[in-house]
Amino acid sequence: MPRRRKRARIRRQSGPVPQERILKALSHHARIKILSVLTERTASPKELSEELEMPLGNVSYHVRVLVELNLIDLVEEERIKGSIAHFYTVTDGTFTDNPAWQSICPKFRTAVLSQIREVMSDSACSLGAGVIDQREGRHLSRTPLLLDENGWKRVSEILREAAQKVVEEETAAAERLSGVSGARKIHAVLGMFYFEVLPDPHK
C-alpha cells in the first residue's frame, strides 16, 4: 500500500527553539546521526534503526526529542500489518532560518551542511566518550573578527597555509608511525570555518 501523506498530529512547540535547547539535543551522537539521514530523505524510526544499527526503542526516543524541539516533522503515515508507521523529515529551517539561505546554490548548501554535521557528530562522540578535553594542546574557539579587505585576504591566506602544513605534518606522522612498531596512533579532527557574517545591529 502506498504511503499516505498526512498533516503531522504531534503537538509541537510554538515560536523559535532556544539555542541552548538545540545544542542540548545535538549533544547526543545518535540524534546527530538521525538528523543526518533525515536531511537527505524521509524515514521511519524502524528504517533509521536498521540503517544506523541502533535499537528501535532508542531511536524512537531520540525521534520524539527532535520532534518536541521542532527539528523534524512527521510528514507521512503508512499502515503496515495492522500498525501505523510514521515517517519524518528535517523541518524547514532546522539549520538556518535566514531567507537568503534558499538563494544559495543547493550543491553548496549540501556541502556546508555536510561539513557542519560531521563536525557536530565528531564533537558529540568525543564529548560522550570523555576524551575531548583530556589531551593538552587541544583547541576549541570561536573568534569574531573585524577586518578590512586586506585583513580578509591575509587571514584567508593564513588558513590555507595552515591547512597545507597540517596535511604535510600528517604525511610525516604516517612515515614515522610506519617505522615504529606499536607506536600509539592519535586520531584527531581539525575543523576550520571562516566566513562573513551580518553585522551585529546592537554594536
Q: For residue 3, give the C-alpha cell.
A: 504511503
DSSP-based three-state secondary structure for 179: coil
How far apart, in whole angstroms, are the C-alpha atoms of residue 10 and residue 12? Answer: 6
Residues near 32 by Cβ (< 8 Å), separated by ≥ 6? Answer: 26, 117, 120, 121, 124
How far apart, in whole angstroms, are the C-alpha atoms of residue 29 and residue 58? Answer: 12
Query: For domain 1-133, which architecture applies?
Result: Orthogonal Bundle (1.10)
For residue range 40-89, list pLDDT tens digits in order.
788 999 999 999 899 999 999 999 988 888 778 888 888 877 788 899 98
Residue 35 near residue 72, CB atoms below 8 Å: yes
Residue 146 confidence (pLDDT) = 92
For residue range 143-184, list pLDDT tens digits in order.
889 999 999 999 999 999 999 999 999 999 999 998 887 888
Q: What is the pTM of this model?
A: 0.48
Residue 148 confidence (pLDDT) = 95
